[in-house]
Structure 1
Amino acid sequence: MSAVHLSWARVRKVALWVVAVLLVLCLVLALTAVWAVRRSFPQQDGALRLPGLTSPVTVYRDGHGIPQVYAKTSDDLFRAQGYLHAQDRFWEMDFRRHVTGGRLAELFGESQVETDSYLRTMGWRRVAEQEWQLLSPDARRHLQSYADGVNAWLADHDGGRASLEYTVLGLQNSGYTIERWSPVDSLAWLKAMAWDLRGNMDTEIARAALFAAGLTRPQVEQLYPAYPYDRNSPIVDGGAVVGGVFDQDAGPVPSGASTAPTSGGGQGGGGPDEAGTGGGGTVAARTVTELADGLSRLPVMLGNGGSGIGSNSWVIGGRLTATGKPILANDPHLSPSMPGIWYQMGLHCECAFDVAGFTFAGVPGVVIGHNARIAWGFTNLDPDVTDLYLERVDGDRVQVDGEWLPLQTRTETIEVAGGKPVSITVRTSRHGPLLSDASASLRDIGRRPPVDPAGSPAGVAASPQLVPGRPAPDSGTRGDGYAIALSWTALRPGRTAEALFALNTAANWTEFRAAAALFEVPAQNIVYADVAGNIGYQSPGRIPVRGKGDGRWMSPGWDSAYDWKGFIPFAELPSVLNPSGGYLVTANQAVVGPGYPRLLTSDWSYGYRSQRIRDMITSAPGAITVADVQRMQFDNRNGFAPTLVPAVVDALGTATDPSDDARVTATGLWKDWDFQQPADGPSGSADARRSAAAAYYNATWRHLLAGIFDELPASYRPDGGDRWFEVVRGLLAQPGSPWWDRQDTPAVERRDDILRSAAAEAAAELRRDQGDRPADWRWGRMHILTARNQTFGSSGVGPVEWLFNADPVGVSGGDAIVNATGWNAAAGYEVDAVPSMRMIVDLADLDASRWIQLTGNSGHAFHRNYDDQLPLWRAGQTLPMRWDRAAVTDAATQTLTLRP
């Protein structure tokens, strides 16, 4: 017995030692994990040395980590800004410069070679290098000071000390070394911004693909309705170009009817297959689809290109506000990311710069915000600044008006982590780089030319000069190949970086417009207000003037009549100062009426958001306050539901079964619905009823689009944005339209058949996913937002995604709603675009201004400011946008002194 007892004692002793060792190991691992996460957290209190400063710089941070920087000189100010951006967001900055330089394979290996090939072919970095030479000495000095601040931080930080992402990267690329920051890195980031806000290039590809896939031109045009000027007002209600200058008082630009672009000259015409015959052929369909697929693999910097990408901004004059001074609001709609795209900051010095607002990590200055005298906000003008040209090529030659001219060529070498370098040859025509060279599947399209039955390239504007697919005159057997070239305004060097510094220091309308004149790409709508009480609007940007064609279809590159002939002069672009109505609204709708003599684009957003904002302003019961504007920004009213709901209810009312589930559900949920779409609400509350109605409506809308447009190629199914509002609006008045007939049934369906089936399918889906009680359904259970890390957030490795992504949350709003939480009906209900920030500036009291961003100012996972603004953003709340130094210091929770 004693031996047994001794044996058990030994076992217990060993077990205790094993447990103790395991506990110690777990503790060590936990401490190591905490150390690995926290060692990159920046010092935000006390004092640090920043070489190159001429005087100390003071940085106050509030509880949300928002810095207010006070310096004596502009050199010190931008050096400090570069240092602080690097402290909080350097991984994001490093990733972006690898994108813009076409160097992702250096980080992530062979899988990124094709993406780098596209980026090198477009040559963003090369253009940025050329822009550096165009900038003024002051602008170059600011950019260099900023870079010096970044590099001062880098001198003491590498690998995991810089950010947790580098620790994860080291698991697959242990040899990566961070390089110094260059001012050109900042300029190149502006190219990525321009790419994501490039206008209608995706629409141009889609038109060509739909035509090539078998739709007739009238069918394609029906999917791109004209802007509804009779229902949704443009930004500028009047004015005309007089003597080469836009005059807001010169008489109204007609806007009383929906009109398509006119034919001829620079205004339109020249689409494919004028006779209306479709069937461009499978080769053409494959060509444009593969081009779209290739471009879709490029990293999303700001926006995903979907219908939800846009913005709201408006400015209300003092005549309508409680303070008697203007209120300016802005909320850009971009793709959700972790960290968010914006970094809030104040920049103050004993010099020309005294400004606060939203910045881009990697770029000096403030992008959107206010200084002591003026405030400004941006939305995407969305003009047509890209054209695709189908080129006839033979080796390194391209055909122009019957002659063969040399292509420009260069060799690019792509370094590959863990692999051998890859060399590519980039060819460029007079229109731009040949994008088709960047795709192996597109390089050989000339072997089977994409020709439609009439002999013209499918989805390409008709050119009578040459017959594609046949040898050109006197060319023998040469020229039987095709390539696709991109003309894009951002590929021409410009001075947009200079515009940011000029905006930051502008003190009045004249100086603001001078700054806007430098803002070439991306072309934006800019709203303006100043402390003197003025409000205004300016549409800047480099917008092409075309010869033939209207930019809606690919152009024949061999016909010089389709070339760009220049750019719209800045003086002719619409602008307004102190409009008679007392307010201005921009939300990506048409800028000006169809009588405007220049072609900006024919692919606007359709005005549902802008008209709702106008209606809220004009119907306000009293003088408007900042709190009123905050409620407007979080408005969740669906603008198409008042049209669709009665149509569905009427169709369900003809059901023969009195117990029809969809009819009972629709009449119960949609009765007295005010078309607001909150995420949730307490059981039995008004918001709960609204949310249940919204859940059923959006499910019905999604199934309706799938039922109507089942003949469209999978890549071009409806995303559900406001273009589709207009398409379906037209079809509701055509109950026998062929679009209503489903392709997968022998019966011939009509409008009410599809409306009923969509409602029934939606009810079945929600009963399956959310239970049998319609009153318990919630829009926020379907409409989920996950802010994902741009690099590792979709890695497919659960623990890695957990490290860097925010927790999923249900949100209010929807597509083409003022609270624009976009979603793609072809993919599901998940949020793919958001109001990336919200800003409200009170020009009567700048300290009464408000702001919020999607996630938080820090780019370090697990930092307290990584996602601390998300709960407030989701609820429509904002933070104080402090301005006066006394208010800043009173709210400061940390004070950092940067010393020379």
Structure 2
Amino acid sequence: METTVVAHKQPLLKRKWVKISVWILCSLLFFLTLAVGLGYWFVKRSHPGLTGTVIAQPLNSEVTVIRDERGVAQIKAVSLEDLFFVQGYVTAQDRLYQMDMTRRLASGRLSEVVGKQALETDRFFRTYGMHRTTDRLVSMFNEETTRIVDAYVSGVNQYIEEAFSSGKYPIEFRILGYEPNPWTKEDTALVVKYMGYTLSGNFRAELEHYRMIKKLGHIDAPRLFPEYHIDDAFPTIYTVSEASPFSLTELENLTTFAPDEFNGSNNWVIGGDYTESGFPFVADDPHLGFAIPSVWYQTHLQLDGDFHSVGVTVPGVPGVVLGHNEHMAWGVTALSVDQEDLFLEKAHPQNPQLYLFDDIWEEATIIEEVIEIKDEEPFIERVEVTRNGPIINKVVTNGPYQAISLRWTGYEAGEELNGIMRLNRATNVHEFTEGLNGFVTPALSWVYADRDGNIGFRGQALMPIRNNSNGMLPVPGWDPDYQWQGFIPNEELPQIINPERGYIMTANNKPVDDEYPYEIGRSFYPYRAERLTELIEDTIASDELFTIEKMKEMQTDVLNVQARSLLPILLDAVSRSEIITPLSGLEKDVYDMLRDWDYQEKVDSGGALAWNHWYNLLGPALFDDLLGFSYNHNLVIYQVLQEAHQHPDHQLFGSLRDGLQLSLDELARETFAAAIDGIVDIQGKNTSKWAWGKWHTLTIDHPLGAVKPLHLLFNVGKWEIGGSGATPNANAYNRHSGKVTGGAGWRFVADLASVNSMYDIVMPGQSGQVFSPHYSDQVDTWAEGNLYPMVYHKDGLKKKKLVRFVPGE
């Protein structure tokens, strides 16, 4: 009887727990939905108002701002100060947190708001010293530039004051718990210098070459670079023992502070003889690291009776930096010249503040940088500055060290801010070229065209004239023969107007021929330039006229000419190796796939996946054992493999494995097998399902997205992406994870026939405010390779929001 009763109770008990579980689940869902809704409301209420009226005391007259369907502000004013006041205001509306983080990073002040975890970064940037150059840059402002920057600063600060008094400020400031300081002229100057820093990464290469000497010596190191022309880069003026009192680990630590090496770009200009409209075409797509928000900020400025420019700037910098006006269009790539040199210093054995120069001991300047740290005591960074520049390796050393100082042309004062306004007003290529005079940094390849049919190129930067050095290694700071001998004059910079061939193209390739009288650097890359030249020449040879669509197709081209050159060499080597060790069935399938591959790195390409995995293993196999550190220089890998192919008995490197030399055939076979194993781990053995885009994906990260669970709030993605760092559609990636890390954050195509024939896109979007409709609304269109019309006149806007800025009483 008891057994029967218990048997009846069990189903009742289960049903009761089911009801309780359902109730708990529904409650959790309710509170989760409520929390998400409240969070969304809380973030949205912090967004600035994009309609209505703003009262601004500094204004002289009314300014109208029309926001288009992408959130781009079209600003129209009748006075210079009013125009730039409002540009500062609306830029801060969209990008204030980004602006504040940029100036904090560049000036070494991150620790103030994020704590001790940023201390090493702050120590480096305080030592690097960009913030110590801003006064000199501000002193170069002419009278008009001073008025412009003052007005811009005033606009930024009015927004800061309004936002924080009303509680409608970016959510990042709430999360980190601080309010930004007022913006200053020096902050604007600092942003310019920081952009120069990001494109001045030569000291990484110098350190890597120096580490090679320490490992291999003066005789063997150059043998790794048969075509790289650096055999004369190893001066014998000093010995390895003289220049090696620090460890390889310290040098490696210092390279972590070097700018990202993937800072490239493509641009080209086609003369009107070859275009559908009969007017010149301009295309530009600068390549930088991807982040949210974008480095680029779309802006549209109209000053009645003066100028009307549309394009992009960097948040914190007034004007239009890249884009077009009614007369001209222009764009840039990284010039990739060497603006930095490292100097090995000799300190006095009894007084380390004295450094030797020309047999005289000179006293270094000592600067005490006080680094405030959130919830901690301040840290004092004692910066030493020699005649050559700041000692930069003290940051990564704890014991005795040999000082390395840095000289950078960016420490010189330039006229970048004055020049930006000259570019905005330029009416022809000659005025534009003159407008570039005085630009110090960043080093850029400018291409431009005007409505008169002229096309031009100028490699603009302050470039040092070196005496006994080609800039590829640190040089003796104590020897006057290694001092810079001045700077290349403007009239001798690389430049051309209206070349006979009817087009100009730059893609981080060498901008001059071997007859150029100055040494300007050796970190130039040919792959994208070769492909773009091929596309341009083929179009001209076919008598096909360039169209806007053709220009867009070129920007999104994914043919890898590097693979086209190297893959046959490697496949031949694998084929030869099969005589000794037959290929497995899977290996034969992959071999056939690569043999038939068209070198197009499309998202659905199995060949692109196989090639990139294989290529990624070549650098480590060639250099890691030999050098004792990771070295993955694309151009060096290319040249070493080419040399090994042309000279089969060439000694690639001394493998530490059993003291044997590795042949090209062995290298190819071992890395081929390892690449296949790596792909099998992520996409299985069915090669028909292999696809480049499944692994090569884009997730766009916000700085706070590195902290979980904030990544759910701030980061966006993911997208399957084609191309790689070697294709015109350049999408560099982490070779371990496949995550896309950098590429074309802005694309621009212009037909000078009409101001209504200009197109662009910024990735991911215009606004840095999470949950804004313009936070990442341009990514899908960007991933498809499309552009948006750059509406020049307000009548062409489909959707628009109007804000009136009126003078205060």
What TM-score comes out, normalization by structure 1 length?
Answer: 0.83
Work out whether residues 233 and 472 of structure 2, in 8 Å CA contact, stay in contact via their aligned partners in 1. Answer: no
Which residue is 1:315 aligned to? 269
Q: In the superposition, relative to structure 1, how do residues 748 and 429 fare at CA in structure 2: closer, same or farther (>3 Å)?
A: closer
**1:766-845 paired onto structure 2 within 5 Å:** 766-789=679-702, 791-795=703-707, 797=708, 799-825=709-735, 827-845=736-754
Please give the alpha-carbon distance, in whole angstroms, between the structure 1 residues aligned to 2:740 and 2:392: 30
Equivalent residue letter for 1:846: V
**1:562-641 paired onto structure 2 within 5 Å:** 562-605=482-525, 607-620=526-539, 621=542, 622-641=544-563
Q: Which moved more, 1:536-545 or 1:730-739?
A: 730-739
Q: In the superposition, relative to structure 1, how do residues 23 and 203 fare at CA in structure 2: closer, same or farther (>3 Å)?
A: closer
Which residue is 1:462 aligned to? none
Quote how far apart the aligned CAs of 1:350 are. 0.8
Matched, 1:56 2:62: yes
Matched, 1:375 2:287: no
Post-superposition Cα deviations, 1:314-340, rounded to whole Å, max 9, x if no partner, equal 000001111110000001111111111
Quote how far apart the aligned CAs of 1:261 are. 7.2
- Residue aligned with 2:389, SS: coil
Work out whether residues 626 and 655 of structure 2, in 8 Å CA contact, stay in contact via their aligned partners in 1. Answer: no
Post-superposition Cα deviations, 1:568-590, rounded to whole Å, max 9, x if no partner, equal 10011121111100000011111
The RMSD of aligned alpha carbons is: 2.8
Post-superposition Cα deviations, 1:788-818, rounded to whole Å, max 9, x if no partner, equal 11x21323x2x11121111222210012211
Q: In the superposition, relative to structure 1, how do residues 278 and 841 fare at CA in structure 2: closer, same or farther (>3 Å)?
A: farther
Give the helix-richer structure, 1 or 2. 2
Q: In the superposition, relative to structure 1, how do residues 710 and 732 fare at CA in structure 2: closer, same or farther (>3 Å)?
A: farther
Q: In the superposition, relative to structure 1, how do residues 761 and 372 fare at CA in structure 2: closer, same or farther (>3 Å)?
A: same
Q: In the superposition, relative to structure 1, how do residues 803 and 315 fare at CA in structure 2: closer, same or farther (>3 Å)?
A: same
Quote how far apart the aligned CAs of 1:366 are. 1.0
- The number of equivalent residue pairs is 786
Post-superposition Cα deviations, 1:330-366, rounded to whole Å, max 9, x if no partner, equal 0111111111111112111114331000111111111
Work out whether residues 207 and 220 of structure 1, in 8 Å CA contact, stay in contact via their aligned partners in 2. Answer: no
- Residue aligned with 2:346, SS: strand
Equivalent residue letter for 2:599: F
Which residue is 2:317 aligned to? 363
Work out whether residues 710 and 742 of structure 1, in 8 Å CA contact, stay in contact via their aligned partners in 2. Answer: no
Which of 626, 630, 636 is the aligned partner of 1:716? 630
**1:52-131 paired onto structure 2 within 5 Å:** 52-131=58-137
Which residue is 1:409 aligned to? 366
Q: In the superposition, relative to structure 1, how do residues 678 and 402 fare at CA in structure 2: closer, same or farther (>3 Å)?
A: same
Work out whether residues 212 and 282 of structure 1, in 8 Å CA contact, stay in contact via their aligned partners in 2. Answer: no
Please give the alpha-carbon distance, in whole angstroms, between the structure 1 residues aligned to 2:169 and 2:782: 28
- Residue aligned with 1:786, SS: strand
Work out whether residues 268 and 503 of structure 2, in 8 Å CA contact, stay in contact via their aligned partners in 1. Answer: yes
Which residue is 1:738 aligned to? 651
Work out whether residues 537 and 576 of structure 1, in 8 Å CA contact, stay in contact via their aligned partners in 2. Answer: yes
Post-superposition Cα deviations, 1:751-785, rounded to whole Å, max 9, x if no partner, equal 11221222222222222321222121001122122
Please give the alpha-carbon distance, in whole angstroms, between the structure 2 residues aligned to 1:535 and 1:652: 47
Q: Which moved more, 1:23-32 or 1:100-109?
A: 23-32
Quote how far apart the aligned CAs of 1:372 are. 0.8
Matched, 1:339 2:299: no
**1:290-689 paired onto structure 2 within 5 Å:** 290-293=253-256, 295-296=257-258, 304-306=259-261, 308-394=262-348, 395-441=352-398, 444-445=400-401, 482-605=402-525, 607-620=526-539, 621=542, 622-654=544-576, 655-656=578-579, 660-661=584-585, 663-680=587-604
Work out whether residues 271 and 549 of structure 1, in 8 Å CA contact, stay in contact via their aligned partners in 2. Answer: no
Equivalent residue letter for 2:685: D
Work out whether residues 43 and 771 of structure 2, in 8 Å CA contact, stay in contact via their aligned partners in 1. Answer: yes
Which residue is 1:191 aligned to? 193
- Residue aligned with 2:504, SS: strand
Quote how far apart the aligned CAs of 1:500 are. 1.2
Please give the alpha-carbon distance, in whole angstroms, between the structure 2 residues aligned to 1:440 and 1:708: 29
Please give the alpha-carbon distance, in whole angstroms, between the structure 2 residues aligned to 1:119 and 1:48: 38
Please give the alpha-carbon distance, in whole angstroms, between the structure 1 residues aligned to 2:49 and 2:139: 36
Q: In the superposition, relative to structure 1, how do residues 391 and 775 fare at CA in structure 2: closer, same or farther (>3 Å)?
A: same
Which of 619, 626, 642 is the aligned partner of 1:729? 642
Quote how far apart the aligned CAs of 1:868 are. 1.0
- Residue aligned with 2:265, SS: strand
Matched, 1:696 2:696: no
Please give the alpha-carbon distance, in whole angstroms, between the structure 2 residues aligned to 1:525 and 1:659: 47
Work out whether residues 609 and 691 of structure 2, in 8 Å CA contact, stay in contact via their aligned partners in 1. Answer: yes
Post-superposition Cα deviations, 1:18-74, rounded to whole Å, max 9, x if no partner, equal 999878755653343122211222211232223322222222222211221111111
- Residue aligned with 2:345, SS: strand
Q: In the superposition, relative to structure 1, how do residues 322 and 113 fare at CA in structure 2: closer, same or farther (>3 Å)?
A: same
Which of 852, 855, 866 is the aligned partner of 2:764? 855
Q: Which moved more, 1:553-562 or 1:627-636?
A: 553-562
Post-superposition Cα deviations, 1:690-713, rounded to whole Å, max 9, x if no partner, equal x11111111121223332223244
Please give the alpha-carbon distance, in whole angstroms, between the structure 1 residues aligned to 2:706 and 2:20: 44
Which residue is 2:7 aligned to? none
Work out whether residues 214 and 278 of structure 1, in 8 Å CA contact, stay in contact via their aligned partners in 2. Answer: no
Q: Which moved more, 1:890-899 or 1:778-787?
A: 890-899
Post-superposition Cα deviations, 1:715-742, rounded to whole Å, max 9, x if no partner, equal 43215x3443233222222333332664
Q: In the superposition, relative to structure 1, how do residues 388 and 224 fare at CA in structure 2: closer, same or farther (>3 Å)?
A: farther
Q: In the superposition, relative to structure 1, how do residues 757 and 54 fare at CA in structure 2: closer, same or farther (>3 Å)?
A: same
Q: In the superposition, relative to structure 1, how do residues 444 and 352 fare at CA in structure 2: closer, same or farther (>3 Å)?
A: farther
Please give the alpha-carbon distance, in whole angstroms, between the structure 1 residues aligned to 2:19 and 2:688: 60
Q: In the superposition, relative to structure 1, how do residues 19 and 718 fare at CA in structure 2: closer, same or farther (>3 Å)?
A: closer
Equivalent residue letter for 1:104: L
- Residue aligned with 1:87, SS: helix
Quote how far apart the aligned CAs of 1:864 are. 1.4
Work out whether residues 412 and 440 of structure 2, in 8 Å CA contact, stay in contact via their aligned partners in 1. Answer: no
Work out whether residues 128 and 188 of structure 1, in 8 Å CA contact, stay in contact via their aligned partners in 2. Answer: yes
Quote how far apart the aligned CAs of 1:280 are. 7.8
Work out whether residues 73 and 351 of structure 1, in 8 Å CA contact, stay in contact via their aligned partners in 2. Answer: no
- Residue aligned with 2:343, SS: strand
What TM-score comes out, normalization by structure 2 length?
Answer: 0.92
Equivalent residue letter for 1:895: L
Which residue is 1:256 aligned to? none
Which residue is 1:478 aligned to? none
Please give the alpha-carbon distance, in whole angstroms, between the structure 1 residues aligned to 2:625 and 2:21: 68
Please give the alpha-carbon distance, in whole angstroms, between the structure 1 residues aligned to 2:361 and 2:768: 52
Q: In the superposition, relative to structure 1, how do residues 19 and 878 fare at CA in structure 2: closer, same or farther (>3 Å)?
A: closer
Equivalent residue letter for 2:425: T
Q: In the superposition, relative to structure 1, how do residues 747 and 489 fare at CA in structure 2: closer, same or farther (>3 Å)?
A: closer
Q: Which runs of 5+ in 1 are unaligned?
A: 1-9, 171-175, 227-259, 263-268, 297-303, 446-481, 681-690
- Residue aligned with 1:214, SS: helix
Q: In the superposition, relative to structure 1, how do residues 23 and 576 fare at CA in structure 2: closer, same or farther (>3 Å)?
A: closer
Please give the alpha-carbon distance, in whole angstroms, between the structure 2 residues aligned to 1:698 and 1:545: 39
Please give the alpha-carbon distance, in whole angstroms, between the structure 2 residues aligned to 1:659 and 1:122: 53
Quote how far apart the aligned CAs of 1:839 are. 0.4
Which residue is 2:4 aligned to? none
Q: In the superposition, relative to structure 1, how do residues 439 and 278 fare at CA in structure 2: closer, same or farther (>3 Å)?
A: closer
Q: Which moved more, 1:315-324 or 1:756-765?
A: 756-765
